[in-house]
Structure 1
């Protein structure tokens, strides 16, 4: 046997385990930082460290849920035109025993995190229970599947608030819910368009026209509630409203014209205009709230 191939096998296994944790999807955990920004705490070192710890713990938890989901869906993923090649368990690049060892390590990290941030981990436990229900049942229930995904984003924002021990505006929660519903609806739309109902059984209960209405309603709600949040709680952020509107328009363009959106993270990272919009939004928020933070 070729010694080079033997030596590369452990490296491929490690690469597969890293891919199994889906580090690209950790971008979603940026929602945890929303309270840090809107509470004007981003100049306080202790607040920043607490928020970053919450992000790290959510990354661990989300990776653990991805492993469970991939293990549960391994047969369906093997029939999927894309996931059969990109999911390590379905593609056979990672063995099931190795995945279970990694899962135990991730759970151990969360147990350790409990001693550093018990409130955050308590929220994460709710998130993980919700995702277990999603993996084994809710993902097959029309409408409930989309709302389950969206609630996960709301829990991220709540965890960020718990990490800082600050209240969160109700407008922020409902804005997050609508934005997450929009992203989840678009994800389902692209799955239907690109692979029909082969990848997920629940897709047979939807149509592109129905999902489009869900997405349009959610995007409108996100814009309206964000604007109301700004006007009521943070009027200095009014300059960010056009950026949010452009981001929604551009994301829909990426979905419709460029056939992206099955993975919101991939759509964001692959489109420079979306990336620039997010960076400008973060910069505008920081600039607008800087006097509050400095005070």
Structure 2
């Protein structure tokens, strides 16, 4: 093993110093700023890789303050820097990104990066290193593209390198340090796809339950297919939304730990998985009915509109969220070919508006506790709580009022064996919604009230009890007259 303590250390950026891909992040930001730019990408590619990066960098920049960094590697570089070792950043990323990262970390004596007409990758990077650093250098990299550089280096630093690539490096080059990447298994992907959020798509079954046709096997099969179609579509949109919000998520106290924001999962993997989930979703929807495909496409269009535009506008975002919940119920009706009552739609709009406001208020309460004054990427301020609070509680009470009117409606009196029992459901709704709002005021609410309801024993018991009472009210014929 040779002594490398005084040999200059050259460090790669994408996948090494930061686990993310700054070019892909730039393209995502470009699409977010103006989707019309996506049509220009093929023409920019005709300029070559360096020209493409130059064009993208001219329209959007990376905030080096928000990038995730490989903490163990950065700590090692700081220790080496304190000993007086020369450290160089050499990257295929555009020089504007590399310069920003260098200024952010304050570690590098020199920056080598892609500039106009010269893409610094593979052999081109090796030549630049030899020209500016010399033949004696240690290289820190992460992938197959770095093999030509490792072969000429005096020693290698491996950062999250796949085992088969690491084996090739070890055969030809001494290893100075090895920084293995944390394993990203099934649990990480389940978090990224937010499989726990699939519970929201149980709303598709509401028309099946309210019409009491859950004993029909054909309709049950259609509902299961519809549930999977909506769930896969939702997961695809969650992934795209997380990629869309990388910058704002990274400054959020909890969202910064999401797989893509933290760099635990690569951006290009997310795009591939989102595309596959969307394709599978549309295939399942087609197996249900053409009308259901239309409902799914409507849902995708509205959720995309929410992610691209509406989520940044105060109140419009919560109204859209309540609509997205309600569309699930409408889609369930289409899947089994039944009409949705106006009572159910009115009740859904109000209760889901209240739940959406719970979500926003929970975020603002958490921000208030951390000392922040306003959200990033959304037009909300902590001072808005004085308006959002009564609005959310009022929406919950409106849902209860609608449910009370539904109990007294003539069609309910004739359809249910004992409609008076439904007043117990109304009381349960008052308790459950009040409980959610109290937990929100105490700062105990999760970012998503659905997740909280799943984990909260009191919420689970209350919802199950209300469902049981509805079934009993329909099936039992009791004389409750005084």
Using the size of structure 1 for normalisation, the TM-score is 0.90
CA drift of 1:206 comes to 6.2
Measure, in 2, the Cα distance between the counterparts of 1:173 and 1:218.
Answer: 14
Residue in 1 aligned with 2:262?
A: 91
Closer, same or farther: CA 67–270 of 1 in aligned 2, 3 Å: same
Matched, 1:212 2:389: yes
Residue in 1 aligned with 2:439?
A: 254
Number of residue equivalences: 290
Higher mean alpha-carbon deviation, 204-213 vs 220-229, is at 204-213
Matched, 1:155 2:155: no
Q: What secondary structure, in the 3-state scheme, does the structure 2 residue paired with 1:202 have? A: coil
Q: Tell whether the 8 Å contact from 1:231 to 1:238 is kept in structure 2 after alignment.
A: no
Residue in 2 aligned with 1:25?
A: 197
Closer, same or farther: CA 56–290 of 1 in aligned 2, 3 Å: farther
Closer, same or farther: CA 10–289 of 1 in aligned 2, 3 Å: farther
CA drift of 1:210 comes to 0.8
Measure, in 1, the Cα distance between the counterparts of 2:286 and 2:396.
Answer: 39
Residue in 2 aligned with 1:112?
A: 283
Counterparts in 2 of 1:195-234, with a 5 A limit? 195=367, 196=372, 197-204=374-381, 207-232=384-409, 233-234=411-412
Counterparts in 2 of 1:276-287, with a 5 A limit? 276-287=461-472
Higher helix share: 1
CA drift of 1:143 comes to 1.4
Measure, in 2, the Cα distance between the counterparts of 1:255 and 1:170.
Answer: 30
Measure, in 1, the Cα distance between the counterparts of 2:461 and 2:443.
Answer: 18
Closer, same or farther: CA 80–169 of 1 in aligned 2, 3 Å: same
User: Could you say which structure has the greater relative contact order, defined with CA pairs below 8 angstroms and 6 or more residues apart?
Assistant: 1
Q: Deviations over 1:107-157 (max 9, x none)?
A: 111231233122222111111111111111100111111111110011000
Q: Deviations over 1:80-107 (max 9, x none)?
A: 111111x110011110111011011111
State the structure with more CA Rg.
Answer: 2
Residue in 2 aligned with 1:273?
A: 458
Higher strand share: 2
Structure 1: state its 5+ residue gaps: none
Counterparts in 2 of 1:171-190, with a 5 A limit? 171-190=343-362
Residue in 1 aligned with 2:247?
A: 75
Q: Deviations over 1:257-279 (max 9, x none)?
A: 35215211222022111110011
CA drift of 1:6 comes to 5.9
Q: Deviations over 1:198-230 (max 9, x none)?
A: 444311396111111210221111111122223
Matched, 1:100 2:278: no
Measure, in 1, the Cα distance between the counterparts of 2:222 and 2:240.
Answer: 27
Closer, same or farther: CA 226–28 of 1 in aligned 2, 3 Å: same
Matched, 1:47 2:219: yes
Measure, in 1, the Cα distance between the counterparts of 2:294 and 2:476.
Answer: 33
Q: Tell whether the 8 Å contact from 1:254 to 1:267 is kept in structure 2 after alignment.
A: no
Closer, same or farther: CA 32–284 of 1 in aligned 2, 3 Å: same
Q: Tell whether the 8 Å contact from 2:366 to 2:443 is kept in structure 1 after alignment.
A: no
Closer, same or farther: CA 92–239 of 1 in aligned 2, 3 Å: same
CA drift of 1:291 comes to 6.9
Q: Deviations over 1:150-191 (max 9, x none)?
A: 100110000111111111110110110101100111111111
Residue in 1 aligned with 2:84?
A: none
Using the size of structure 2 for normalisation, the TM-score is 0.57
Q: Tell whether the 8 Å contact from 1:186 to 1:261 is kept in structure 2 after alignment.
A: no
Measure, in 2, the Cα distance between the counterparts of 1:75 and 1:258.
Answer: 25
Q: Tell whether the 8 Å contact from 2:249 to 2:261 is kept in structure 1 after alignment.
A: yes
Q: Tell whether the 8 Å contact from 2:359 to 2:447 is kept in structure 1 after alignment.
A: yes
Q: Tell whether the 8 Å contact from 1:64 to 1:103 is kept in structure 2 after alignment.
A: yes
Structure 2: state its 5+ residue gaps: 1-157, 165-179, 414-418, 478-482
Measure, in 2, the Cα distance between the counterparts of 1:2 and 1:203.
Answer: 40
Q: What secondary structure, in the 3-state scheme, does the structure 2 residue paired with 1:90 have? A: coil
Q: Tell whether the 8 Å contact from 1:13 to 1:93 is kept in structure 2 after alignment.
A: no
Measure, in 1, the Cα distance between the counterparts of 2:382 and 2:443.
Answer: 25
Higher mean alpha-carbon deviation, 56-65 vs 261-270, is at 261-270
